[in-house]
Amino acid sequence: MTARAFKLNDIPDLSGKVAIVTGASSGIGLETAYLLARRNCTVYIAARNPEKADRAIADIQRRLFPATQGVGEIIYHHLDLLDLKGVYESAHRFLRDHDRLDILVANAGTAFESIDQLSVDGYDRSFATNHLGHFAFITTLLPLLERTSGINGGDVRVVVTSSMAYQFAGNNGIDFDSIRVKSEGKSILDMKAAGRRYGRSKMANILFTQELSKRLEARGISGIRVNTCHPGSVGDTGLGANDALGIPQWFNGMVHKAVGTVSFTPLEGAMTQIYLSTSKTVVEKDIRGKFYVPVMTWSMRYHYSTEYDISRALKRGDHEKLWNYSETALREALQR
Ligand SMILES: NC(=O)c1ccc[n+]([C@@H]2O[C@H](COP(=O)([O-])OP(=O)(O)OC[C@H]3O[C@@H](n4cnc5c(N)ncnc54)[C@H](OP(=O)(O)O)[C@@H]3O)[C@@H](O)[C@H]2O)c1
């Protein structure tokens, strides 16, 4: 897009559309769900904690009140990304019960997880949550996304929330060898390694997006646009606020408050994925397989979203290897 601000009022009317936002029980995902519902989209909050999801739904409804017309329904859908078989079943429940899905925002994420625990299927927890779970969820929902593109004028959007932290993965691309390695380490000194693991999962988000987009194009499916983004540096969310590395809660809280004063609000952080999942410009300019970042004004507020060139950073291109690795992980989980 040109350097024109993308504002709340630029979000088009989404009447009749259905969206899923993963990790919408807090932070950037909650605001994404709010902004979609505010424009009359039916929104499924895909989350693992029903109480937290209910609180998120109540919060969104309270903010939309007293409007009863022109706002969408908000519904809980159970999804725990740490369990691949469960993810597959969650996607199948959605396939069974719904006849359309226009927007899928794969926003859920975790950072700075300890490595003394692996996922249900035995993978690094950041990689499992941020990439493998979303790989299983999105690829299982593909038939419904394809069907929807046939009935909504070829305008289905998939947006995967990545991060500029993909750079923490290092220059050698995805380190596949350590994804299943557990360690006894649990200390603040593990921070750097935890950052690298988070970076690897966020690099996987980008590679997956580009590979999915390429595969859809190769199959002649032009009505599904898949993109990825960095939401900006966003304060006051739950990211990294777990105590997995033994970091005291009061310290985490302090860091979050400090970051919050010099970063985007969660609502501003939602704007890049909202832009990619709703803006008409995405269709007009046929934006697909791209990595978008927010641009801020001099006052450090969200202004607009623009493409960020990652071609050099990703020149090793583990795209196909990652796809095969993820397919195998899902197949093995389903055989258990
Ligand atoms: N905040 C930033 O500055 C920033 C910067 C770059 C990228 N991002 C990305 O933005 C996205 C949203 O993060 P946020 O900052 O809004 O943090 P957040 O408030 O912690 O939101 C993360 C969401 O993901 C959910 N989640 C975590 N593990 C899950 C699992 N196994 N199954 C289902 N849902 C799970 C969380 O639910 P629970 O409460 O149940 O754990 C929560 O709703 C993440 O992908 C993050 O990597 C954030």
**Taking residues 200-212, what's their average pLDDT?**
96
Q: How confident is the model at residue 129, as a pLDDT?
A: 97
DSSP string, 175-220: -GGGTT------SGGGHHHHHHHHHHHHHHHHHHHHHHHHHHHHTT
CA of 312 to the centre of ligand 1 (A): 27
Q: Give the C-alpha separation, 303 to 295, whole Å.
A: 6
Q: Give the C-alpha separation, 286 to 61, whole Å.
A: 33
Q: Is the pLDDT score of 136 beyond 80?
A: yes
| Eight-class DSSP state of 304 | E
pLDDT tens, residue by residue, 106-126? 999 998 777 678 999 999 999
Q: Is the pLDDT score of 246 beyond 90?
A: no
pLDDT tier at 311, thresholds 50, 70, 90: confident
Proportion of the chain above pLDDT 90, given as a percent: 72
State if residue 86 touches ligand 1 by the CB under 6 angstroms criterion: no
State if residue 80 touches ligand 1 by the CB under 6 angstroms criterion: yes
Q: Which residues are catalytic?
A: 198, 202
Q: Is the pLDDT score of 134 beyond 60?
A: yes
Most confident of 68-72, 187-191, 255-259: 68-72
Instruction: Identify the structural domains of the chain with CATH numbers, from first to last.
Output: 8-335 (3.40.50.720)
Q: In this structure, what token pair is assigned to residue 183?
A: 């360690």
State if residue 201 touches ligand 1 by the CB under 6 angstroms criterion: no
**Taking residues 20-35, what's their average pLDDT?**
98
Q: Is the pLDDT score of 1 beyond 50?
A: no
Q: Is the pLDDT score of 148 beyond 50?
A: yes
State if residue 237 touches ligand 1 by the CB under 6 angstroms criterion: yes
- R_g over Cα of the chain: 19
**Taking residues 185-212, what's their average pLDDT?**
85
Instruction: Tell me what the pLDDT averaged over the chain comes to.
Output: 90
Proportion of the chain above pLDDT 70, given as a percent: 88
Higher pLDDT among residues 279 and 72, named by residue: 279
pLDDT tier at 173, thresholds 50, 70, 90: confident
Q: Is the pLDDT score of 2 beyond 50?
A: no
| Closest protein CA for atom 2 of ligand 1 | 234
pLDDT tier at 225, thresholds 50, 70, 90: very high
**Taking residues 155-171, what's their average pLDDT?**
93
Whole-structure pTM value: 0.94
pLDDT tens, residue by residue, 84-110? 999 999 999 999 999 999 999 999 999
Q: Give the C-alpha separation, 73 to 184, whole Å.
A: 45
